[in-house]
Amino acid sequence: MNKQEVILCDSLTENLGQAIARIPHDRLFLLTDEHTHALCTPLLSDVKAVKQATEIVIGSEDVNKNLQTLADVWMQLSTQGASRKSLLINLGGGMLTDLGGFAASTFKRGIAFINIPTTLLAMVDAAVGGKTGINFNGLKNEIGCFSPAASVLLETEFLRTLDQANLCSGYAEMLKHGLISNKQHLDELLSFGMEQIDYAQLKKLVGQSVKVKEEIVATDPQEHGIRKALNLGHTIGHAFESLALATGHPVLHGYAVAWGLVCELYLSYIYTGFPKELLQQIIYFVKSNYGAFHFDCKQYEQLYELMKHDKKNSNGIINFTLLHGVGDIALNCQAEKGVIFETFDFFRENMGI
C-alpha cells in the first residue's frame, strides 16, 4: 500500500491546488453530501481546477453508507465520463471519505482520490490510513478495502462549523491515540477544555494525533500486527454502535468508541494490569463529556453476538487490543464470556445507568 501524503493546511486553496496538480488526470470529480455541498464547497471556490469539476452529491449521515449509495456514485462516474485517469475529491466526514474512497478504489479497478475531511472524526481517523468501505447486512464497514488517498488535506477551520456532539465524537479517537502513544500526549488531551474550544490548540492536538496514526500505519499498513493497536475501544464500541442502530437509536461513532474505551480499559485492568487510577480518570472524562450508553442485562447476549462479527476475530474467537499502561500495548487478547458480561456490569454501574 502506497504511503499517503497528509497535509495540515496553512492555506486550503493553495494546498489543494498543489495536490491536484501533482496527480495527472483527464477529469476531476467532487463528491459531497447535502451538508458539505452547502457549507464547505464554497471554501473551494478559489481553486481554479475545482471550478471545472463535476460534483456528485449524496445523502448525509451514516444511514447512506450503503450499497445503493455506492452504486449511485459508480453510476454517476460512469455516465458523466470518468475514466481510469480521472481524479475524485472526497469532501466530507468519515462516512463520505470511506464510501468515496471505496468507490474510487473499485471504479474501473481504481482511480486516484484526494480526501478533504470536514469533521474531527474524519480528520484523525476515517480519512487517514487507507481504510475504505461501506456498511452491509447491519454491520459496520463490513465491505471495503485498504486503499490510501493520494493526499489527505486537514483544514481545521472546518471544525468551527461542528456542533459539540460531533467535536466530541472525533475527540474520542484522539483520546484513543493518546492512550496508545504516551502519557504527555494523553495528559494534554484529558486537560483540553471541551466546552470552550481553543481552536489553535485543537489544531496542534490534531496534528499530534494524526502523527500517532500515521506512524503506526506506515509500520503495518494492512493490520497484520501493531496497527491493531488502533482497534482499542472498538471491539465493544462497534457492538454498542450496531446495537443502537438495530434498536432505532443510532449513536455517533466516537461516542460508541468512548464507551468502548471504558469497557476495554476495564478488561485491561483485569487481564493486563492497566492502572486503576487511570481507568477511573478515563471513566470520569467519558462520563462528563459523552454521558452513557443505555442497555440492560437482557441485551448482553445480543452485544456478545455482535462482537463475534468483528473483523478482527478469527475462528470465532473475539480479539481485543488491551493495554498494560499508556503506550504499552497488548495485541490479540481474549476474554472469557463471563468476564465480558462482568465488564458490561462494570460499565453500567460506573456510568450511572
DSSP 4: P
Band (pLDDT 50/70/90 cuts) for residue 2 is low
pLDDT at 289: 96
Torsion sign across C-alpha atoms 335, 341, 343, 344: positive
* Residues 21-25, mean pLDDT to the nearest whole number: 96
- End-to-end CA distance of the chain, in Å? 44
Q: What residue type is assigned to position 84 of the chain?
A: R
Contact 55, 28 (CB under 8 A): no
Over the chain, what is the mean pLDDT? 94
| pLDDT tens digits along 213-265 | 999 999 998 888 999 999 999 999 999 999 998 899 989 999 999 999 999 99
Does pLDDT of 272 surpass 60? yes
Contact 268, 274 (CB under 8 A): yes
Architecture label for domain 165-350: Up-down Bundle (1.20)
Give dist(CA 117, CA 200) in Å, integer: 18
State what percent of residues in the chain have pLDDT above 70. Answer: 99
| pLDDT tens digits along 176-210 | 999 999 999 999 999 999 888 999 999 999 999 99
pTM comes to 0.90
Q: What residue type is assigned to position 9 of the chain?
A: C
Does pLDDT of 158 surpass 80? yes
Mark out the alpha helices in 52-146 (DSSP H runs): 67-79, 94-106, 120-121
pLDDT at 79: 98
Nearest to 301 by CA among 346, 344, 350: 344
The torsion defined by the Cα of 56, 57, 62 and 63, in degrees rounded to 10, comes to -110
The gap from C-alpha 210 to its chain's centroid, in whole angstroms, comes to: 11
Residue showing cell 463471563: 338
pLDDT at 195: 86
State what percent of residues in the chain have pLDDT above 90. Answer: 84
Does pLDDT of 315 surpass 90? no
| Longest alpha-carbon distance in the chain | 60
Band (pLDDT 50/70/90 cuts) for residue 352 is confident
pLDDT at 259: 98
| pLDDT tens digits along 88-122 | 999 999 999 999 999 999 999 999 999 999 999 99
pLDDT at 166: 93
Q: Which residues of 264-284 are buried (b: 16+ CB within 10 A; e: fewer)?
A: bbbbbbbbbebeeebbeebbe
pLDDT at 140: 77
Does pLDDT of 138 surpass 90? no
Nearest to 174 by CA among 254, 278, 92: 254
Residue 95 CB coordination number (10 Å) = 25
Does pLDDT of 80 surpass 90? yes
As assigned by CATH, the class of the 5-161 domain is: alpha beta
Residue 76 CB coordination number (10 Å) = 18
Least confident residue range of 9-13, 30-34, 55-59, 342-346: 9-13
Q: Which residues of 109-147 are buried (b: 16+ CB within 10 A; e: fewer)?
A: eebbbbbbbbbbbbbbbbbbbbbbbbbeeeebbeebebb
The gap from C-alpha 317 to its chain's centroid, in whole angstroms, comes to: 24
Instruction: List, in order, residues 6 or more apart from 41 with CB less than 8 Å away.
Output: 30, 32, 55, 91
Q: What residue type is assigned to position 61 of the chain?
A: E
Contact 91, 118 (CB under 8 A): yes
Does pLDDT of 1 surpass 60? no
Least confident residue range of 180-189, 295-304, 313-322: 313-322
For the chain, which residues make up each domain, given as ranges?
A: 5-161, 165-350
Residue showing cell 466526514: 93
pLDDT at 294: 96
